[in-house]
A and B are shown apart, each in its own frame.
Chain A
């Protein structure tokens, strides 16, 4: 999506040939980055696991086997084939909990990105387009949010709202808001004065239409990269909140919450501590790899170098 391809039209190109060409070019650059492709496949696998959790998981995520507490993974002495990755302190199957846990992490990422993208883009667009006092106020509010370290602000917000996964998502979305607003606004400011916008306005395109259909499509590239970034940091932050006891509440098999519950076994049962963290790390890594690939494919400046 380079400047030339889109600025020739006044809105997102919907002709089949055009879209195809853009996508093909995108894929060309994206697939050049091997890491990004691996990340993408892994991410798709995580999505499949999350969607098919009911089918794949051998046990229920909160089902307790009182006869099998802290059973180690199968390859270790004392392992049990019923529980491939072992069980936790109350006899729940680790593998099943991890599988179901993927749902929460993806869900958190999705909701946070959707929420902050939607609100952030609208606020940023309006702010950049309208300018003036409104813009100043919005930008100062964003400065205020940015002045607090994100995790601390999220923690304080959850303390106000009450600890739960929903509230953790809201808090994280609030904390990530400023990045979208700033990006969108900067892009709008950049595009506002360009000829194609002026042309569209002269041609009688209303301000709302101009904002959403003329300018927005041209700011998509940085927003997509930001979305990938904030998807992964949302997962990390939600896990951190869960770890601090302020995110999803037990017995929810959210990965961070699982880690928090597992802390007491740190020296006795390595698997209850290791696997949830590994799951978080791999998922976040996959998304970040994809994000890098997206940036390379979408950002014309870096493409050159």
Chain B
């Protein structure tokens, strides 16, 4: 197991260096002089131009800039945002909990609905239930979620007026962030109605972000379940007259869950990509929205740092999924690579 772990981590190192180069290269590939772009119509004197180039380090050889950047990363220094002049890392951390909160809710939503739906469809294979569940799942899988979000806003916020239009909590409530997770903070604040307000703000974004993972998980659960159900030991159990609930719930599900867990892990990238759209639509102050804003504001150090951190998160989560899979299913330890 240790050898497997080491090999996995060893594989990550070149990828991580590559990701660093890619995110570093990003800012250098942009057309035009970043300093001139910042100055706009107002322009700037040649001296000031020179000074700014120097300040951002653009006047030195590329490899020197890269080495500086690379070693600074290990001290948690990703440079300063051009817009706020604050460290990119703290800008990222300030917004990260909002994204985590939303993503966790979305994945819980997807798992809580997706696994039962997939199981049900598998058990009732070929029935109308199966067809309608799988049909719905495919619709969900094909959904342009930015449009889906708009439709939900029109319906639930515009027509029914059940949910608020955007934000994380009603402006009426104010308490200093403790954990950064609005659901927890609102409970800790002890203010009446704060928690319900936070929940009502979360519902639509959760549904929108959870839609595609939900569809994927339902489909994956169904096919994993079908595979397990056709295996001999399940047939045997059935033949022995064990109650169907027991067969399906205990024997089949446990084995079917292995590939499903992998699928859930692989949804992290999907969630982060979806967060870009979902957060933009709902003015959700997380990293997806921050990345889009930074791209539009041409805040290159933020874009660069954000890309790197997001890629690192995806890599770490994938590693954890791999390891978990290795734990559950020892066979792949020896073939992985």
Contact = CB atoms under 8 A, between A and B. Distances in A.
Given A155-B295, A160-B29, A273 B141 contact: no
Interface residues of A, number: 46
A259 B26 CA distance: 29
A274 interface: yes
Contacts, number: 127
B276 A285 contact: no
Interface stretch (B15-23, B60-68, B197-205): B15-23
B277 A243 contact: yes
13 contacts: A141-B18, A143-B15, A149-B314, A151-B277, A156-B295, A240-B144, A240-B277, A266-B153, A273-B151, A280-B147, A281-B147, A284-B142, A284-B144
Interface string A155-198: 11001101000000000000000000000000000000000000
Given A239-B144, A292-B138, A305-B226, A244 B154 contact: no
Interface string B136-169: 0011011110111011011000100000000000
Interface of B: 11, 14-15, 18-19, 22, 26, 29-31, 135, 138-139, 141-144, 146-148, 150-151, 153-154, 158, 223, 226-227, 230, 269-270, 272-274, 276-277, 280, 291-292, 295-296, 303, 307, 310-312, 314-315
Given A140-B18, A266-B154, A284-B142, A156 B135 contact: no
A162 B315 CA distance: 28
A152 interface: yes
A123 B33 CA distance: 34
B310 A148 contact: yes
A232 B147 CA distance: 16
A244 B288 CA distance: 12
B142 A288 contact: yes
A256 interface: yes
A202 interface: no
A267 interface: yes
B139 A285 contact: yes
A289 to B, nearest CB: 7
B147 A289 contact: no
Nearest to A147: B311
B143 A267 contact: no
B158 A267 contact: yes
A148 B150 contact: no
Task: Find the residue from B30, B273, B311 having the highest chain A CB count within 10 A.
Answer: B273
A147 B314 contact: yes
A259 B295 contact: no
A203 interface: no
A106 to B, nearest CB: 15
B144 A280 contact: yes
A244 B274 CA distance: 12
B123 to A, nearest CB: 15
Interface centre among B14, B18, B144 (most CB of A within 10 A): B144
A305 B228 CA distance: 11
A147 B29 contact: no
A91 interface: no
A35 interface: yes
A270 interface: yes
Contacts of B280: 244
Contact of B151 (A35, A274, A289): A274
B293 to A, nearest CB: 11
A300 B74 CA distance: 49
Given A148-B310, A305-B226, 11 more contacts: A148-B19, A150-B273, A152-B276, A159-B303, A162-B31, A240-B277, A256-B144, A259-B144, A277-B144, A281-B142, A302-B223
Contact of A152 (B138, B307, B312): B307
B316 to A, nearest CB: 10
A277 B141 contact: no
